[in-house]
Structure 1
Amino acid sequence: MREILTVQVGGAGIRLGNQFWDYIRTEHGVDHLGVYHGNSHLQLQYIDVYFSDIEMKRHVPRAILVDSGNVTDSTKYNRWQLPMLITLPHVSGSAGTGNVFSHGLLHRSKVVDNLMENFRRVSETLESLQAVQVIHAIGGGTGSGLVSAFLRELRDDNTRLVTTWTVLPSPVVSDKVVEPYNAVLSVPALIDSADVVCAIDNEALARIGSGKLRTAHPNYDVMNSVAALAMSGTTACVRFPGQQNSDWRGVTANLVPFPRLHFLTLSQAPLARNFAEQSRNLGPQGLMQELVSRENFLMHWDDKQARYLACAALFRGRLSMAQVDAAVAKANGRIASSGLVPDAVMRSVCDIPPPGFTASGTLVANHTAVARALARSVDKFRKMFKKRAFMHWYEGLTEADFAEAEKRTVDLVAEYIQLERQPKQAGGVDEQW
């Protein structure tokens, strides 16, 4: 069995990760205590990819929970989860980071060393570690600074595929003034030490919550539910058998044409469980149209210039492969690709839909829209850095560290924009669905 080990870091990473476990443990027929009550042998066939089987046939998430403060803070657990997650390895620091990158980075000697010790201990018990996935947000101090230190240690210590689920900050959601600093300072580690970064934009989640989900004031629970549903759909191809299935490395390898450009975006259809009834009327063609709609992306951008480099359509449910192939072929003909990948859309079909759904879909795309989200943070970073505002909070970092992080982020944005401006592929239609 090719296992995946999850590391949830910081308050945002722990809460989002908990929602993710809530979704997938339900899909696998596991209750809040880790006991299986499902109705299909398929639920157990690949359950060991994400879950560990402990005494009394209990299935618990294979995860390590990390925070610079107290990881068992009750605000980071959903009520149902405490019995299951209390058995997991926990790594806590003595104090919080105050939402400052350098404070998270300087916990390296205390927290990161303890985290690496737990990581090695868990890894040694596994038959074949397929990948490590890190769930975090780069707006806060722990999810930015501590994760940067951890990723560098992980790269030196481990050759496995390293994937991050990275939540990007937005002033629409949070009023923490130093978030642009934290976000930009995090980018070098994400470029150098992660193989794949699945970027989730808080601004897009807030737009989805207030728009399609009709929530007047979407809170973190609403936004996390959307993100976790997309994460569940993205990982279904490694958790369940299907007609055309893939492992995680196979999916991501086709989406990264250049090593540095490994920042992916997600789209989900339907967007929430209360839209499950809608899925009864959506075949592959309808799902594909929803997936390529800008309103369904977990990434916010305004202009029409953003383009796909490559994407993977991951369908779930008992769907006709002929209809899936037709929907994907139509998408290939209409998505304005850069010309780097002739067949821009790959596809995978998992037979098991999410509970309550007839069918669903998730699009994982290498899309230049991610450059817009990073550019937003760079713009706010520059306005503060020009006046050297709040830099006294960042003990241990010099102006050269800030300037280097800004340069590397700007270079990454420029690489995406350069591909965006290349001539369209011959025969493609210069149109965004």
Structure 2
Amino acid sequence: VGVAFWEKIIQEHGITPEGLYTGNNPQQIERANVYFTEAQGGRYVPRVIACDLEPGVLDTIRQSKFGGLFRPDSMINAASGAGNNWAKGFYTEGAELLDQVLDTIRQDVERCDLLSGFQLCHSIAGGTGSGMGSLMLQKVREEYPDRMMSTFTVVPAANSSDAVVEPYNSVLSIHHLIENSDMTFCLDNQALGNICLNVMKKPLPTLGDLNSLVANVMSGVTTSLRFPGQLNADLRKLAVNMVPFPRLHFLMSGFAPLTSTQVQSYRHVTVPDLCQQIYSTNNMMVDVDPRHGRYLTCAAMFRGKVSVKECEDTIWNYAEKNASSFVEWIPNSTQIAVCDIPAIDSKLSATFLGNNTAIQETFNRVGEQFSKLFRRKAFLHWFTDEG
């Protein structure tokens, strides 16, 4: 997921796989230093730290088209793997790598003029993303308590599973996410697969297709940080508007326009179209039906040549018509941001974030699976052996 995001924003900023700027719009590079460090010879280097407890994934990145872009010392991996075990990632294997990772973070932070916060991409089903992800969250929070911590978290899907112990890993991680994260954008492969099948009409979606959907959302959420716009919303501003109570920071996300490639050239996208799509259940990137709950707060981020007034009017009209979907004790609960620079593949696009009470369905599902295993004390010895 992380690599898909970097590939996306490298293209948006007009940077080549070698790290050189070849764009034609000065606005592309005006605020590139939010995500990139400018090195010698005008090379732009992503400010990223990639860690894993096994070498396979990072080796793939090193050998990819964009492999030469990342700093070698920002790719940190062990050799043994976490074996889908949260305790290995948190207590044993992950803890051994921790000092090296924190040291690299410290060096990167010292190079910053003004550190806004951290973004963590991980999955809470396996061992590394859940265990080591929780450990990183906790330690970074201790070292930088006043900085924003946002996470893009892939939660286990309802009908597909890589590991039997997913419910254990997830429950242990969710506790850390509740305590140590300021904003958590929930994603799941089931919902992403459904979008590819039903909305984009791809009969056999690959992981690359799913990742590019997530990259769209990540790129949309961070647009206001990366480009000058008419109405900006940085990470902190977003969190202030989206999180009414500290523990309720688990957000659903959506993106528009999503259409099949055959239909794309026949459609003219308008702001009302986008509004209808981003609130649609089919476009949600987590397997939850927002109609089963109510929205506490929402954010809509528009990109492209569009009038702020039109965006505001469309969103207000939607909120008035569907007043029953929003809680009445937070008036004007939708925040809007507008950025003039369009996404690469569409002239007009919108990213949606919603803090909806229906997100509890995800946690209930994981909780039920956890209880079934825990009642029988199944697989527990793998965790207790690690401490």
The TM-score, its normalising length taken from structure 1, stands at 0.84
Q: CA deviation at 1:69?
A: 1.7
CA distance in 1 between counterparts of 2:193 and 2:386 reads 32
Alignment deviations for residues 12-64 of structure 1 (CA, whole Å, 9 cap, x no partner): xxxx0000001111011011111111010000111111111111111121100
Alignment of 1:3-402 (within 5 A): 16-70=1-55, 73-76=58-61, 79-87=64-72, 89-106=74-91, 107-158=93-144, 159-271=146-258, 274=261, 277=264, 281-302=268-289, 304-333=291-320, 334-335=322-323, 336-396=325-385
CA distance in 2 between counterparts of 1:163 and 1:199 reads 11
Q: Secondary structure at the match of 1:370?
A: helix
Asked whether the equivalents of residues 51 and 62 of structure 1 are also in contact (C-alpha less than 8 Å), the reply is yes
Alignment deviations for residues 190-239 of structure 1 (CA, whole Å, 9 cap, x no partner): 01111111111222111112211222232211111111111111111111
- Paired amino acid for 1:143: G
TM-align CA RMSD = 2.0
Q: CA deviation at 1:394?
A: 1.1
Q: 1:226–1:40: structure 2 CA closer, same or farther, 3 Å change rule?
A: same
Q: 1:228–1:78: structure 2 CA closer, same or farther, 3 Å change rule?
A: farther
Asked whether the equivalents of residues 282 and 359 of structure 1 are also in contact (C-alpha less than 8 Å), the reply is yes
Q: Secondary structure at the match of 1:347?
A: strand
CA distance in 2 between counterparts of 1:256 and 1:365 reads 10
Q: Secondary structure at the match of 2:9?
A: helix
Task: State, as a whole percentage, how many aligned pairs show the same letter.
Answer: 34
Alignment deviations for residues 283-311 of structure 1 (CA, whole Å, 9 cap, x no partner): 21111111000001111125832211100
Aligned to 1:421: none
Asked whether the equivalents of residues 122 and 152 of structure 2 are also in contact (C-alpha less than 8 Å), the reply is yes
- Paired amino acid for 1:182: N
Q: CA deviation at 1:94?
A: 3.3
CA distance in 2 between counterparts of 1:396 and 1:204 reads 35
Asked whether the equivalents of residues 61 and 67 of structure 2 are also in contact (C-alpha less than 8 Å), the reply is no
CA distance in 2 between counterparts of 1:138 and 1:242 reads 34
Q: 1:198–1:58: structure 2 CA closer, same or farther, 3 Å change rule?
A: same
Q: Secondary structure at the match of 2:191?
A: helix
The TM-score, its normalising length taken from structure 2, stands at 0.94
Q: CA deviation at 1:73?
A: 3.9
Q: 1:164–1:96: structure 2 CA closer, same or farther, 3 Å change rule?
A: same
Q: CA deviation at 1:76?
A: 4.7
Question: For this pair of structures, how many residues does the alignment match?
Answer: 383
Q: CA deviation at 1:152?
A: 1.0
